[in-house]
Structure 1
Amino acid sequence: MILDYETLKFIWWLLVGILLIGFAITDGMDMGVGNLLPFVGKTDEERRVVINTVGPHWDGNQVWLITAGGAIFAAWPAVYAAAFSGFYMAMMLVLFALFFRPVGFDYRSKIGDARWRNAWDWGLFTGGFVPALIFGVAFGNLLQGVPFYLDELLRPHYQGSLLGALLPLLNPFALLAGVISVAMLTAHGGTWLMMRADHAIAERARKAVVLVGAVAVAGFALAGVWVAFGIDGYRIVSMPPTDALPNPLGKTVVVEAGAWLDVYTNYPFAILAPVAGFAGLLGMIGLAWMGRGGLAFVSSAVGMTGIIMTAGASMFPFIMPSSIRPDSSLTAWDAPSSHLTLTVMFWAVAIFLPLVLTYTVWCYRRMWGRVTVAEIEQRAGSAY
């Protein structure tokens, strides 16, 4: 079967979104657990319980982030180049924060000193909190537009200095998006602890889920109002055919209030995305309140999927809008790689993604079970 170029462009927009959702559900869970680690674990043994609930899986889960980055590089090279120009300092901050995770998991329990272990506990917190915040901030800036433009040779140019590149990203709306990201990932990690941690820890995690879940719901609602009435969106008024060769400078883009809501007028079924976001988060809160950790985890995953889909659907087909030259904005139609590249990548995904998912499910089933303080005390010399 040979897919036409236009279809492949749309498929890869969907696949990158799926990778981001997979990252949020799996590695976001690890980050959420790290965010809760210093607060739900009152003793060293309890904190080791928290760490051991994600210890067998965190490195495999992080592959979703690496795969998403690789997919963006291969499928949307122009987006990858422009993003590293505008978000370079933010990405470096994420990278250095992520360094705390493998080192913290491996070295925390090597020395029995309480100060050593407490320092690594906060290091694991940093490795979860900072990336979660920055990822949300990045989405918040994409909705507002990024100050870059393409020259006649399609080279991206970012307006701003390298050292001063981070501060403009930390604007009020972007910080709100960061708070939503931190809150929903923290709540998601809390639902995981409700299923996997000792009962005393699970009860503290349950209370945390209700609290931060409410923050996520309120933040998502406020962001929706802000997008509708406080942020100008982007709208394409003319462009080459969607199956044409990529030409980011061949379109005309206008910036208008309410343009990000066009998708809900043109495609009414898109409203299912924010509905899923609110329903999933509210369901997670209610199920956590009732102590139903497993169902709360599933509901949390639905809520995060809805939130990510809401951002993607509202911006479609834009991927990286330009705030200084809107016609330089990169979209799903004019930023992709060649037809051959997208085809080869598509069949690689079609073959290997089911294998990866099957192996992942098998690993979770084989290592399933509630981690208890008694078990940790019996394994005094374990890695974590």
Structure 2
Amino acid sequence: MNIPVDYEILRLIWWLFLGILLIGFAIMDGFDLGAATLLRTVARTDNERRQVLNAIGPVWEGNQVWLILGGGAIFAAWPAVYATAFSGFYIAMFLVLATLILRPVGFEYRNKIADPRWRTSWDWALFAGGLVPSLVFGVAIGNLLQGVPFRIDTDMRVLYEGSGLFELLNPFGLLCGLVSLAMLTGHGAVFVALKTVGPVADRARLAGALFPLLHVLLFTLAGLWIAKGLPGYALVGAVAHDGPSNPLVKEVAIVPGQWLKNYEAWPLLKIAPIAGLAGSILTAVLVVVKRPGLAFVTSAAAIFGTIATVGVSMFPFLMPSSIEPKASLTIWDSSSSQLTLFVMLCATLLFLPIVLAYTAFVFRVLRGKMTAEAIEANSTHLY
């Protein structure tokens, strides 16, 4: 079959698509993760907590589509990455899924019984369903930047040699986890400030000013750590960008400061970390002056910049190996076939606009603020 798009270009397109889907997930699902993390902080009474839950309740389930799309894209476009990630991060992924399962149950069952102890238990479950994924996703990124302990044998089988969850909780991994947690919690605070009124909105504005500034501090510390002491991975010699997906045919070196080399080669890419820092600073300012709508946009820009910074820094690596560098997975040697990438590209170009249009329609229909009066008037029909 004559495929009209070069293999190299398809791999680059799917690397970009993967970044878009991860950013889309962080922006769209990130605000309800952040709102759940803040549930017991910005809301003090049952009515106030129901305001927060009903602010995100109509949209959180639809936002999960971005997680499914991201996981599906990795599975179909980068099968070796999918297999290695779910081997190395299995316990962490299981922990994330376990806490994510608490979310739909918490939303549906919290309001079924008026007992304060019942509702408080589900509030803590929803809190865990927001905090744990926000933290673990960042921890995973921190470990990717350091390299994952896996090998690939001559039969192309992935052999993970790590010791489990606690190995992932190393100092740099935890720092990246805190970057993610601060970023998404601030994003959730801005959304709550946008969708509520009264004391809940006031407390959310305070959180929406503090957490973005915390994100700036932690993001800067992570950048300095990378610049001063964290080695990166570099391809050695010529690499066939349109060659077969065989990670073992290349050579890789571990080089101090390598994760900053792409910014030296292409200075325009510095817009990514700048967006991450400037977006959070502007978010804090806009929340203080009571412009939550614009603050939500700048918070989304901060998320874009933060995730794009990781992708740009690691390019073309997707998952480096810390114990056998030549087994590292890159966009040039761990993708699906050219035909598979092309068919998926056609499907994505068809269905992604539908997802975007439907998402815009839902947010348009559900615009407006959630008030205490609305909760009291519809007590049995809302979360």
Displacement of 1:311? 0.4
Asked if residue 332 in structure 1 is aligned to residue 331 in structure 2, the reply is yes
Greater alpha carbon shift after TM alignment, 331-340 vs 241-250? 241-250
Displacement of 1:178? 0.4
Secondary structure in 1 aligned to 2:159?
strand
CA shift digits 1:88-121 (9 cap, x unpaired): 0000000101111000000000000001101111
Name 1:89's counterpart in structure 2: 91
RMSD: 0.9
In the TM superposition, 1:301-320 aligns within 5 A as: 301-320=300-319
Displacement of 1:6? 0.3
Secondary structure in 1 aligned to 2:255?
strand
CA distance in 1, matches of 2:213, 2:120: 29
Secondary structure in 2 aligned to 1:254?
strand
Name 1:139's counterpart in structure 2: 141
Of 99, 118, 121, 2:120 maps to 118
CA distance in 2, matches of 1:116, 1:16: 40
Displacement of 1:198? 2.0
User: Is the Cα–Cα contact under 8 Å of residues 54 and 382 in structure 2 kept in the other structure?
Assistant: no
CA distance in 2, matches of 1:148, 1:312: 21
Name 1:182's counterpart in structure 2: 181
User: Is the Cα–Cα contact under 8 Å of residues 87 and 160 in structure 2 kept in the other structure?
Assistant: yes
User: Is the Cα–Cα contact under 8 Å of residues 375 and 382 in structure 2 kept in the other structure?
Assistant: no
CA distance in 1, matches of 2:69, 2:371: 33
Secondary structure in 2 aligned to 1:103?
helix
CA shift digits 1:299-334 (9 cap, x unpaired): 000001000000000000000000000000000110
User: Is the Cα–Cα contact under 8 Å of residues 49 and 198 in structure 1 kept in the other structure?
Assistant: no
Secondary structure in 1 aligned to 2:249?
coil
Secondary structure in 1 aligned to 2:34?
helix
Name 2:282's counterpart in structure 1: 283
Secondary structure in 1 aligned to 2:141?
helix
CA shift digits 1:221-257 (9 cap, x unpaired): 0000001111110010124310112121011100011
Displacement of 1:210? 1.3
Asked if residue 347 in structure 1 is aligned to residue 349 in structure 2, the reply is no
Name 2:29's counterpart in structure 1: 27
% identity of equivalent residues: 54
TM-score scaled by length of structure 1 = 0.98
Name 1:62's counterpart in structure 2: 64
Name 1:172's counterpart in structure 2: 171
Displacement of 1:42? 1.1
Q: Which amino acid aligns with 1:14?
A: L
- Structure 1 runs (4+) greater than 3 angstroms displaced: none
Displacement of 1:2? 1.8
In the TM superposition, 1:1-384 aligns within 5 A as: 2-160=4-162, 164-384=163-383
User: Is the Cα–Cα contact under 8 Å of residues 131 and 181 in structure 2 kept in the other structure?
Assistant: yes
Aligned length: 381
User: Is the Cα–Cα contact under 8 Å of residues 106 and 383 in structure 1 kept in the other structure?
Assistant: no
Secondary structure in 2 aligned to 1:56?
helix
Secondary structure in 1 aligned to 2:322?
coil
User: Is the Cα–Cα contact under 8 Å of residues 146 and 323 in structure 1 kept in the other structure?
Assistant: yes
CA distance in 2, matches of 1:213, 1:262: 27
User: Is the Cα–Cα contact under 8 Å of residues 239 and 250 in structure 1 kept in the other structure?
Assistant: no
Q: Which amino acid aligns with 1:310?
A: T
CA distance in 2, matches of 1:83, 1:355: 29
CA distance in 2, matches of 1:354, 1:55: 24
- Structure 1: gaps (5+ residues): none
Displacement of 1:215? 1.1
Displacement of 1:265? 1.1
Q: Which amino acid aligns with 1:263?
A: N
Secondary structure in 2 aligned to 1:324?
coil
User: Is the Cα–Cα contact under 8 Å of residues 151 and 323 in structure 2 kept in the other structure?
Assistant: yes
Secondary structure in 2 aligned to 1:154?
coil
CA distance in 2, matches of 1:189, 1:79: 30
User: Is the Cα–Cα contact under 8 Å of residues 239 and 252 in structure 1 kept in the other structure?
Assistant: no
Q: Which amino acid aligns with 1:137?
A: V
